[in-house]
Homo-oligomer: A and B are copies of this chain.
């Protein structure tokens, strides 16, 4: 049986009957992934997309100076992959690993395409999911254009309240685009 959290994610946007849920289940792989374990390495091809049931994954890139830049946090209920590599089947520029012990469902590109034919409603589900991801990515672009580092930090705390106490602060710094030292100074200004 599919996990309730995944079923909820589907039924928020489309209606699936029992039969369809079963077909979907046959195309997904449930997996536990330990803290610091990798889901995708850069230069590989992203064969898979992951839906997070519990825990948290992240995607990040490494620039030419060797510093990491976090593109996405995926706490429970979120999908994560290197979308560019996943749709083009070209080399990935992102790494994806687990920040906490996590449970995920894995969907391969191949199985996803099969599912689109077997359960056409899933086109709608992924269209809507992707639209929402686009809205949030574009909002992040606007935030970096409009807000100061301090405002971005405050906003981050509101958007990801669960993450603040469960991951190292330097990862938050990386996500909002400041150095760990500077974030520390921002927080010292007044709590």
Contacts and interface: CB of A to CB of B under 8 A. Distances in A.
Interface string A93-135: 0000000000000000000000010001001101110111111
8 contacts: A84-B138, A87-B135, A126-B127, A130-B130, A130-B134, A133-B134, A137-B141, A144-B177
Given A61-B146, A127-B126, A146-B61, A71 B134 contact: no
Interface centre among A83, A120, A137 (most CB of B within 10 A): A137
A145 B177 contact: yes
A181 interface: no
B61 A142 contact: yes
Interface in A52-103: 61, 63, 69, 71-72, 83-84, 87
A140 interface: yes
Interface string A133-162: 111011111101110000000000000000
Contacts of A120: 120, 123
Contacts of A137: 134, 137-138, 141
A142 B83 contact: no
A144 to B, nearest CB: 5
Contacts of A116: 124
Contacts of A63: 146
